[in-house]
Structure 1
Amino acid sequence: MIFCTKKATLFFVLYAFVFFTKLHARELSSSSDLIKNIESIILKEKNTKKDTIALKKRLSYLKESSNKKSHILYDALLANGFSTFFDKTNKRSEYYFLKSIEEAKKHNDPALLIWTQLNYSQYLYYYCQIDKLIPIVLETMEESNKIDPLDMILPQETFKFFGWIMSTVEDDSAINFYKKSMQYLTKPSSESAGVLNAIGNCYLRNKDLSNAMRYLNESEAVALKIGDSIRYAKILGDKALIYEKKGNLKAASDLLKQDISYSKKFKIDRNEMYASILFAKILLKLKDTAQLEKILDRAGEIASSKSYYRSSLKEVIELKLIILNGKNSAKELILRRQLKLIEEYLLKTDGNTVLQRSYWLVQKKKHDDNTRKIQLQLEQEASMKKIYIIILLLTIVLSFTTYHSLNKRLISKKIKLENDKLFFEKMLKDANSNIDTYAEYLKNKNKKISILENELNELKNFSSENIQDENGKLQEILNSHLMTDENWGAFKRAFIKQHGDFYNTIIENFPELKESNLKIIMLQKLDFNNYEMSNLLGVTIDAIKKSKQRLKKKLGDKYDLLFEIIDNR
């Protein structure tokens, strides 16, 4: 009996030891696999389609999870989804991007904070919001220095993006970031080919043509090995730049023809646009103007399709003006007016002015970092206070000089554009006042209708013939204030003029809507309540409510999307 008891005790101890060992191993495995799980979710949703309803359903498991990190991922990925849907900066995306960053800070998770800030930065970069982008990227770089890259989410993407930004503001640290990214891209892939391509472009910008060609050749070898025709097309265009700088315009021209051909074949509009503009510049140097107009028209067509292509549209217009050279004054005048409007827009977004300001900001950040390091060193040596003051003053003077030199180059351009800006704002104000005036006019009509209805109700209590005649006249006046087909047509034209993007989005995404539905939706957009709508359209409040209910039933799941678009102001 004692022997059996000892045996049972030994078995229980061994079982408990094995059980807790497995449990501990599972916890360690879960901890080490967490970042990989997050990365797999992010990569899975990288090329999401323009369907936010399907996206919400697909990501619902993250929202319903008890894990706070899952909620942060949900917000960040939903922000990406709205960005894809609207294909421009929008308040929905901004809300969810900033919410994900704020929650990551509250959760005190450095890896998630770096990724959420990076995710937002990529959105700002894609839509050319350089002024807003640079401070966030500098902060993210600072955060990334505090953790081991192996603890980051997608470190290869992080360092590659840092390289992009530093390359955009022409900072020499770009190459180091790209090479750091390559450390985490161990296998040949489209990503590694892209990074090698980017390193080659950095050397090209620094006029190191030998290293530029070396890295472009390496990128080309990877692209051909994995069958990435899109990357191969881009490399051809970049090689053309090298041949152009070497003076071999014929070779550059041949490469660009191949680049444009590949871009058309695989429908890479952005690359086709860039290659076409470069090709046009080379043809001008070769004095081959036969194809120029057709090439620039195609490049201009692509550049006009997106607001964030306007810097390229500016190049197209400038090239067209060079070709015209005073031959067609009417056409030239139209082009110059377009150019002024674009320059005004670029002054605030992705133009040279913003890039130069951003460059100054990066340099200032470097000076600030250097100043802090110097200050820490000199605080330990009280005897070197004089040196600290001199260095600090020099740093301030250098920062001021850098800023002053950049502003000096821009001052003439700013003066030139200021008058055009005032003129454009006046035109914009006049255009915007139309629908606002119309809305106010309709609100006043509602007040008049209410007064007339009250008077009619009072007259119904009397039966004399004169009173009934007066009743009939008031009824006619009341009917004249209701929304007629003619009034509706005028209102609709004014509405589309100011809210064209909204109207086109509704028509594109909800083709099943009838004109009666559009009346309700457009008045809802202008903040008319049910009572005001009923007065204006000459129906009861219940009729308005039932109309909305039928609309909800007709649209089903798309009903929520409709009101997301209405609320996106």
Structure 2
Amino acid sequence: MKIYLLSLFFLTILTITNTHIAFGQSIEKILPMEDPLRQLEAVLQLPVNFGKDTLALKKSLQPVLEIANEKNNFILKWGYYMRMADGYSIAFDRTNGISDQYYLLAQQLLQKYNNIELEMTGYARQGYYNYVYRKVKDAFPFFLRANDLKSKIDIRKIPLLVKHYQFIANFYSYIGDQASAVTYLQEALPFSKRASRERVDLTNAIAVYLSKDSLNREALIYLNRAMEEAKLAKDSVWIGIISGNLADQAWKSGDRQKAIALIRKNIDLSMRYDERKDAMRANLNLASWYLALKEWKLAKQHVVSGINLMEEKPYFLKYKMDASKLLSDIAHGLNQKEDELKQLHIYLALKDSLEKRINDKEIQKIMWQRETERYNRTIQSTEEKRLHSKRIYQFIGIFLILVFTIILLLINRSKTKIKMSNALLEKDRLTLAYEKQLLDQELVILKDSLSEFTDTIKQNDTTIQQLRQEIVKVSEQNPAYMAQVTDNLNAMLQTHIMTDERWLKFKHVFDKVYPGYLSQMKKNYTKITDNDLRILALQKLDLNNSSMSELLCVSTEAIKKAKQRLKKKMEAQDQGAISVDRTISR
């Protein structure tokens, strides 16, 4: 069966004017608008109700698509997809594959251009489209996504904000979450025009939702505001509707005469402006009050008036049940047993039918809760996976950096070892063939090696100083980077310091290049120690105090003092005083 009321409401709310743009305005008047948001709002209000004539629908909206493609305007194109989806839903009067396809095209378009406000609006529209045609379960994921984006959007960039927030609020109210419905409407309220039917509708709806949560005091505040807006707008229809809602509050508070006067005003205005459904509800409400006052005839009179305003549609099932129960109670009050049993039988039959619908609605509420929980779990799981993947990539990155650093160090050490091995192999080969030539060649190699050693020491000294300066700079700014620089410095110092083992190897090379130099110095100056010989050898290579300090792992001051002690030892002996001065002075 077609759901006349909701589909009619869906059509009305999609085509109502939200700005100063006239309804049905032509595309030629819309396109020159400079504000993209107002332009989109105008497109979203273009007429799409051509009955089942989908060719007329396509022809009407084709200029929007052409201009969107010509100007590469994705916002207009998105609006075109939305209106085509609306048009086909009206043509088929149900959810359908073509409307679904247009919604999908709109989503794919936003994946490319990334507009979060349009994304939320699209979800709200597609969710409401499913909800209106009673595909409530299918509507769940769209409203969940829309609500998830709510905290991330700029509310001022939502097109037709009031209407789209009404879509979401209506859905939340349907599933029983009145608080969320009120929140959406309260956020939309400042964007409605003063003294407009739109603002009256919003304010009254907030009151109704608050009343459903038994927040009657807050509801009364909003009802009074709604009445003020309706009077400013001179909207008699809404004055009547709000009078009926105020009558409910007055009855609950015990002011029965005021309640009856207000609801009579509601009935009067609703009948005058052909608001039959509202007049029907008001008559039944007034009948229940007369029943409570034991005014049987007046109660029956208003029940009959309400029944006469009913139609053969699913919407009226609940009200028919209420009317039968009222008539049964009135017959009981008038002691009309036969009529009482007849109306009670009708009431029970209608109640059974309605309870099935109510149970379906309760099931849908439970499904919404489960869907919400599942959606939240999915979001949480996705975030955990993302963080886990991030940690893995970070670990792999750090591991690769460490491996690369180790490989570089090993390569550097291997190069030195390879060079030494090659030199030894060359020596062995030349010894077998040309002993004298080998000695000369060995001397050249050793000189080069010693020269290379000297250059390396100087270069490493510069690098070490730079690393130390870098540590001072980043010590407070970047602790992680400081640790890396410190590691590099320590590694370099380990390969730089002249240990006893390295001294013996160095001394061997030095003695070959400068034969007899150290032994002669030891012979001439018997008081000098092995440490003094190291300083003499390094001075011979023209290394400065700083390089010596890094190489021997002592301070520069220690080097200077060692030199001074050495000088005193050598000056203490008579031989070679002039030569000594020339050797150790800088």
* TM-score where L is the length of structure 2: 0.50
Matches within 5 A, 1:47-58: 52=53, 55-58=57-60
- 1:418 aligned residue: none
Tell me the CA shift for residue 231 of structure 1. Answer: 2.1
CA distance in 1, matches of 2:64, 2:308: 41
1:233 matched to 2:247:
no
Residues 81 and 294 (structure 1), Cα distance of their counterparts in 2 relative to 1, 3 Å cut: farther
The one of 297, 315, 320 aligned to 2:322: 315
Q: 1:264 aligns with which of 271, 278, 285?
A: 271
1:56-67 matches, within 5 Å, as 56-62=58-64, 64-67=66-69
Q: In structure 2, do the counterparts of structure 1 residues 285 and 213 end up closer, same or farther at CA, with 3 Å as the change threshold?
A: same
Aligned partner (choices 169, 191, 200) of residue 163 of structure 1? 169
Match for 1:181: what amino acid?
A
> Displacement of 1:42 after TM fit?
2.2
> Which is worse superposed, 275-284 or 77-86?
77-86
Residue 293 of structure 2 corresponds to 286
Q: 2: CA distance between counterparts of 1:140 and 1:267?
A: 37
1:270–1:331: structure 2 CA closer, same or farther, 3 Å change rule? closer
SS in 2 for 1:43: coil
How far is 1:346 from its partner? 4.5
Q: 1:357 is matched by which residue type in structure 2?
A: I
SS of the counterpart of 1:290?
Answer: helix
The equivalent of 1:95 in structure 2 is 97
Find out whether 1:333 has 2:345 as its counterpart: yes
* Cα distance, 1:225 vs structure 2: 0.9
Query: Could you list the per-position Cα deviations for residues 34-82 of structure 1 after superposition, in whole angstroms to 9, with x for gaps in the alignment?
Result: 2211102223539x57574665543342355553655654454355446
What is the Cα deviation at residue 307 of structure 1? 2.7
Distance 1:111 1:215, change over 3 A: same
Deviation at 1:290, TM superposition (A): 1.7
1:226 Cα deviation after fit: 1.5
Offset of residue 132 of structure 1: 4.0
SS class of match (2:45): helix
Q: 1:179 to 1:342 in 2, by over 3 A?
A: closer
Residue 359 (structure 1) shift: 6.5
Tell me which residue corresponds to 2:207. Answer: 200
Cα gap change, 1:270/1:126 in structure 2, threshold over 3 Å: closer, same or farther? farther
CA distance in 1 between partners of 2:301 and 2:89 (Å) = 33
In structure 1, list runs of 5 or more residues that go unmatched: 1-28, 383-569
Aligned to 1:40: 42
Is the Cα contact below 8 Å between 2:194 and 2:229 reproduced in 1? no
Q: Aligned equivalents of 1:64 and 1:370: distance in 2?
A: 39
Structure 1 residues 197 and 330, CA gap change in structure 2 (3 angstroms): closer
Amino acid at match of 2:143: V
**Deviating more after overlay: 148-157 vs 295-304:** 295-304
Query: How far did residue 158 of structure 1 move?
Result: 2.6
Q: How far, CA to CA, are the matches of 2:91 and 2:329 in structure 1?
A: 38
- TM-score, with structure 1 as normaliser: 0.51
Give the Å deviation of 1:239: 0.8
- Rounded to whole Å, the distance in 2 between the matches of 1:129 and 1:239 is 34
Contact residue 204 and residue 242 of structure 2 kept, 8 A: yes
Report the residue type matching 1:58 in the other structure: S
- Separation in 2 of the partners of 1:272 and 1:132? 34
SS of 2:191 mapped into structure 1: coil
Contact 2:84 / 2:102 at 8 angstroms: preserved in 1? no
Correspondence for 1:456: none
State the match for 2:528 in structure 1.
Answer: none
Q: How has the CA–CA distance of structure 1 residues 128 and 270 changed in structure 2, closer, same or farther, with 3 Å as cutoff? A: farther
How many Å separate the matches in 1 of 2:85 and 2:328?
Answer: 40
Change (3 A) 1:96 1:277: farther
Amino acid of the residue matched to residue 38 of structure 1? L
Q: Deviations over 1:297-352 (max 9, x none)?
A: 4544555443344344443344444445553345543443343234334443xx4x
Structure 1 residues 125-140: aligned runs within 5 Å: 125-126=131-132, 130-140=136-146
1:187 to 194, 211, 224: 194
Aligned position for 2:108? 106
Distance 2:301 2:138 in 1: 37
- Given the alignment of the two structures, is residue 276 of structure 1 paired with residue 283 of structure 2, yes or no? yes
SS in 2 for 1:153: coil
Residues 1:357 and 2:366 aligned together? yes
Please report how far the alpha carbon of residue 107 of structure 1 lies from its aligned counterpart in structure 2 after TM superposition. 0.4
Percent identity of equivalent pairs: 18
User: Residues 375 and 112 (structure 1 numbering): CA distance in 2 closer, same or farther, change over 3 Å?
Assistant: closer
Per-residue CA deviations over 1:6-32 (Å, capped at 9, x if unaligned) read xxxxxxxxxxxxxxxxxxxxxxx9897
Structure 2 segments unaligned to the other structure (5+ residues) = 1-30, 392-586
8 Å contact from structure 1 (residues 72, 100) kept in 2: no
Alignment of 1:293-312 (within 5 A): 293-300=300-307, 302-312=309-319
Q: Residues of 2 paired with 1:172 and 1:362: CA distance? A: 19
Structure 1 residues 69 and 36: CA distance shift in structure 2, 3 A: same
Question: Does the CA contact (< 8 Å) of 1:101 and 1:113 recur in 2?
Answer: no
Per the alignment, residue 142 of structure 1 pairs with 148
- Whether the aligned pair in 2 keeps the contact of 1:283 and 1:292 (CA below 8 Å) is yes
State how 1:466-477 maps to structure 2 within 5 Å: none
RMSD: 4.0
The amino acid across from 1:306 in the alignment is K
Cα 1:85–1:298 change in 2 (3 A) is farther
Residue type of the alignment partner of 2:224: N
CA distance in 2, matches of 1:254, 1:281: 15
Q: Compared with structure 1, are the counterparts of its residues 113 and 344 closer, same or farther at alpha carbon in structure 2 (3 Å cutoff)?
A: same
Give the aligned residue type for 1:190: R
Equivalent pairs counted in the alignment come to 345
CA distance in 2, matches of 1:312, 1:131: 26
Contact 1:200–1:215 (8 Å) recurs in 2: yes
Amino acid at match of 2:273: F
Q: Is the 8 A contact 1:296 1:320 kept in 2?
A: yes
1:327 corresponds to which letter in structure 2? E
- Note closer, same or farther for the CA distance 1:97–1:266 as it changes in structure 2 (3 Å cut): farther
Check whether the contact 2:210–2:219 (CA below 8 A) recurs between aligned residues. Answer: yes
Instruction: Tell whether 2:229 aligns with 1:222.
Output: yes
